[in-house]
């Protein structure tokens, strides 16, 4: 093998190693995760995930906490905890059950909700989105107007690509 | 063949009519306000049409106040209907941009919005359920609000320390004391310039609620200009944006 070939292979290997190092997910300590994540990450029936600076495209990032229920009991608890209105859920589920091609989400600013517990961990900037097919609840930490619209836009792209 | 084409054309026309009927339900427009105001004790009753008229009137009264006149404003009669009654609203479209805009608008009006998408037909259906706010509820902050550090609270008044507020739509200022539930409202002129939120233009200024007289006062600290508005000018239900201890300051984003 020629020396130039060895150098080329070495460069490629170094590039691969660097790519892996710099693109691997960063693991945050629990203390740096959101309050909502810390409240639910040890809860049975709920899989909690916190993603810092999730890339929505167009140079827009947002911190998001994802709570996914693994059973109906946990799901009902989550909807209750975040005061998602039952009527709206009923509408959504009815439409879904009629035809599985339906994909349903509910969005709201939960702080304005009647009955929101005073000790809730939600902040004033939280934007809540419920994704029924996966029994998942997303809490976005909104700091800029652009984030709000980009999240909605991102959701509509997902509708199309489901 | 011609008959078949005619039937297809009729079906297409019918589809268009159905689509047109699926547009958002209309809401009741704002009507007007009948207001009593006094300048140095001289009382005047005026009918104001719509929010723009109200804004112009308040600008004029503000000018009087800045010139050192004592100004009071009170709503009279019951003609004020600033905001339509909220109902469950639905909207259906195949246009994703239209649907996104509809959803964003409803969310900002404090609705809970449920969207379903039928991948077979490509149709979005939105259902918006109004959320009712309670006076003791923590606030909803519009995404355009920049911080709340400019509110400094003490006793029965609070001081606004910022240089301006940044909103993207018309804004109404409301403040109240929780102990009485009385509310003060002041509407700001922001319809033409989204960043024209400069009244009172000399900051900082202080708001004080007078529970005996049932009215609010605000004045510029450097000067002596005082603007007084009776609390019963309340025109609206409120979206709560910020609160500080027992006194809350609210902005309503239309």
The yes-or-no verdict on residue A9 having pLDDT over 80 is yes
Which pLDDT tens digit goes with each residue over B184-212?
444 333 333 222 333 333 333 444 545 45
Distance in Å, alpha carbon of B206 to nearest chain A alpha carbon: 24
- State whether A153 and B100 contact (CB < 8 Å): yes
- State whether B100 and A96 contact (CB < 8 Å): no
Average pLDDT over residues B41-68: 59
Which of chain B's residues have a Cβ under 8 Å away from the Cβ of A101?
A: 118-120
- Which candidate, A85, A71, A58, places its Cα nearest to that of A149? A58
| B126, B138, B248: best to mutate for the A interface, most A CBs within 10 A | B138
Distance in Å, alpha carbon of A136 to nearest chain B alpha carbon: 14
Helix (H) or strand (E) holding B31: none
Average pLDDT over residues B52-80: 52
Neighbours of A84 (CB within 10 A): 22
Which pLDDT tens digit goes with each residue over B81-130?
223 345 678 888 888 888 888 898 888 777 888 888 888 888 888 888 87
Which of A21-35, A67-81, A94-108, B175-189 has the largest mean confidence?
A67-81
The order of strands in the sheet holding A102-108 is A46-57, A60-69, A136-141, A126-131, A102-108, B111-118, B123-130, B89-93
According to the model, what pLDDT value does residue B69 have? 56
Report DSSP letters for A120-149, one per residue: ----TTEEEEEEGGGTEEEEEE--SHHHHH
CA distance B187 to B82: 12
Distance in Å, alpha carbon of B111 to nearest chain A alpha carbon: 7
Which of chain B's residues have a Cβ under 8 Å away from the Cβ of A85?
A: 112, 129, 131
Share of chain A above pLDDT 90, in %: 13
The yes-or-no verdict on residue A68 having pLDDT over 90 is yes
- How many Cβ contacts (< 8 angstroms) between chains A and B? 109
Instruction: Note the pTM of the prediction, 2 decimals.
Output: 0.47
The yes-or-no verdict on residue A50 having pLDDT over 70 is yes
Which of chain B's residues have a Cβ under 8 Å away from the Cβ of A82?
A: none
According to the model, what pLDDT value does residue A65 have? 93
CA–CA distances in Å: residue B202 to residues A28, A43, A50, B187, B206? 45, 52, 44, 17, 11
Q: How many helices (H) and strands (E) does chain A have?
A: 5, 5
ipTM of this predicted structure? 0.76
Average pLDDT over residues A58-75: 89
Binning pLDDT at 50, 70 and 90, where does residue A76 land? confident
Average pLDDT over residues A30-38: 86
What's the mean per-residue pLDDT of chain A? 78
- State whether B100 and A152 contact (CB < 8 Å): yes
Distance in Å, alpha carbon of A107 to nearest chain B alpha carbon: 5
Which of chain B's residues have a Cβ under 8 Å away from the Cβ of A97?
A: none
Average pLDDT over residues A139-156: 86
Max CA pair span of chain A: 74
Average pLDDT over residues B222-234: 31
Higher pLDDT, A155 or B188: A155
According to the model, what pLDDT value does residue B46 have? 66
């Amino acid at each position: 093998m020629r020396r130039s070939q060895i150098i080329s292979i070495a460069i490629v290997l170094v590039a691969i190693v660097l790519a892996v190092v710099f693109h691997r997910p960063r693991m945050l300590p629990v203390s740096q995760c959101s309050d909502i994540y810390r409240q639910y990450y040890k809860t049975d029936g709920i899989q909690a995930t916190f993603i810092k600076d999730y890339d929505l495209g167009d140079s827009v990032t947002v911190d998001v906490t994802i709570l996914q229920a693994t059973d109906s009991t946990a799901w009902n608890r989550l909807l209750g905890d975040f005061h998602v209105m039952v009527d709206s859920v009923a509408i959504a589920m009815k439409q879904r059950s009629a035809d599985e091609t339906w994909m349903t989400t509910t969005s709201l600013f939960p702080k304005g909700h009647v009955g929101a517990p005073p000790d809730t961990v939600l902040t004033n900037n939280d934007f809540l989105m419920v994704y029924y097919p996966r029994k998942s609840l997303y809490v976005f930490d909104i700091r800029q107007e652009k984030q709000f619209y980009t999240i909605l836009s991102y959701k509509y792209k997902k509708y199309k690509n489901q | 063949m011609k008959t078949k084409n005619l039937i297809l054309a009729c079906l297409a026309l019918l589809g268009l009519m159905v689509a047109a009927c699926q547009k958002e339900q209309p809401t009741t427009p704002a009507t007007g306000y009948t207001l009593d105001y006094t300048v140095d004790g001289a009382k005047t009753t005026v009918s104001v049409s719509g929010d723009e008229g109200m804004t112009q009137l308040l600008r004029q009264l503000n000018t009087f106040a800045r010139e050192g006149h004592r100004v009071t404003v009170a709503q009279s009669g019951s003609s004020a209907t600033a905001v339509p009654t909220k109902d469950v609203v639905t909207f259906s479209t195949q246009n994703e941009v239209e649907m996104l805009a509809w959803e964003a608008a409803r969310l900002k009006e404090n609705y809970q919005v449920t969207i379903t998408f039928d991948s077979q037909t490509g149709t979005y259906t939105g259902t918006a359920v109004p959320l009712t706010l309670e006076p003791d509820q923590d606030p909803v902050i519009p995404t355009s609000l920049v911080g709340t550090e400019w509110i400094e609270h003490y006793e029965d008044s609070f001081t606004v320390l910022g240089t301006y507020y940044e909103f993207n739509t018309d804004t109404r200022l409301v403040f109240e004391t929780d102990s009485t539930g009385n509310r003060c409202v002041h509407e700001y002129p922001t319809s033409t310039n989204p960043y024209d939120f400069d009244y009172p233009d000399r900051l900082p200024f202080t708001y004080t609620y007078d529970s005996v007289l049932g009215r609010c006062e605000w004045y510029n600290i450097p000067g002596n200009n005082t603007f007084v508005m009776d609390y019963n000018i309340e025109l609206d239900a409120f979206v709560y944006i910020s609160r500080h201890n027992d006194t809350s300051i609210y902005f309503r984003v239309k």
